[in-house]
Structure 1
Amino acid sequence: MAQSVLLTGAEGHVGEAILDGLADAYEWRLLDRDPPTGDPPGEFVVADITDEAAVRQAMEGVDAVLHVAGDPRKTAPWESVLPNNIDGTKVVYDAAVDAGIEKVAFASSNHAVGHYETDERTPEMYRTDDEFRLDGTELPRPGNLYGVSKVTGEALGRYYHDEYGLSVVNVRIGNLTKGHPPIDYERGQAMWLSYRDCAHLFDRCIKADYDYEIVYGISDNDRKYYSLERAKEVLGYEPRDNSAEWDGDEMVA
């Protein structure tokens, strides 16, 4: 019997990528504040992530949670990130504990460490040929209030793992685009995450065994700001795409 998975933020960018590759892989329960725009591959719950009763009801009977809901704007003000990204994440963790769920994957962001890129004093241990190779062990350095909310979400996951034994993986997502990497945008190409690699990565978050982890969510691009070693080692992540192999039409197989 297929596992049952709750996906929050199902109508968002990350949710679209996950369902694009995994629609038939699990029994889905989907939650979003907006109604579905198409034919969802499972039960759809229209509710705000801060609605405790609705989230608890959506959590009933599922085996794992992919929490990708929240305000995704890097310019989002505190008045938005506090309820949508921080309070909502706590609601999810509380409901997961009470429902007896063992595994939660949280969609964090590269913005949790955004200020490493702006500081010339970045330690040499994070540089390889003038490129960043952050691996998740570094201290967070959020580049905006959105990044602050993601760091807070990671810290909440750490607490709920230590206090309640939840298995938690935080995926610091890079530049997620559909079909092709960002054009004429070198930084975006280094941070690119393809749709199929995104779906595969969150599939591994459901299937793998782990305690508490922070991993980076990018494709296997020739140039990288972030290390993929932990995602490969702990989750069994095997990315297939590389922004350097984009030929202007379609990805090279």
Structure 2
Amino acid sequence: MRHLRNAAATVVPPLIAAAVLLMVWQTVSATGIVDPSVLPAPSHVAGQGIGQWDVLIRHTAPTLAATVLGFILSITVAFVVASALDFSGTLRGAILPLLIVGQTLPLIALAPLVVLWFGFGLLPKVLLVAFVTFFPMVVGLMRGFASADSDAQYLLRSMGAGRVRVFRTIRLPASMPSFFSALRISITYAVVGAVFAEYAGAVSGLGVYMQSAKNVFRTDLVLAAVAVSSVLTLLLYLLVVLIERAALPWHRIDVGERT
């Protein structure tokens, strides 16, 4: 019962806020305060989206593929890089500033370059998604490594354990809560990165669909595609949360006890 109350307290307020926002939007559009061609009513957007459902699903598939593959690539590279930086202070001092500088590169300038270098296929989208989501995961892992219990590490070293054994036994498990927090942040960027990459150059995807709808002044279809991308982001976020709860059940219990 307590879990149901907690779940309701988490889910109900944003649902109410979303319902109020949609009602205000519907009222503004219906009363003509804003031109419906500029801001169509949500009921109209939903109707047009349902009418274009097969086309939207066809364009969602490549966006989802680029998002998932880019996210997997980002996780893999982030783990390797963060582990290497954790093992070497010299390497950390040399590479970390470069990673920070890399995050200052504007995606709007980088996306066309990646498309020019790698073409209009899946690869540039995967690379851009990985680029967008890579840095938060590296930072999350490094913070997690640093949060490991120092006493437990000293104890293990006093028993003759090497750095790899200490890393595998103490530092890596300690990094998981921080890592999953970074995953939750990164997955919200992943779909946006994929859509933006499709804007820069692609033959299919939600970004291509939005651009085509924008070119014929179909604001309703643009908003329908935005709604699909938002739902896709929420589903991927929920998947990350479910994986976190399955992988770190003790962390969920600790959080519940503290609250």
User: What's the TM-score once normalised by structure 1's chain length?
Assistant: 0.27
TM-score of the pair, normalised by structure 2: 0.26
Structure with larger Rg: 2
Structure with greater helix share of residues = 2
Ranked by relative contact order (alpha carbons within 8 Å, sequence separation 6 or more), the top structure is 2
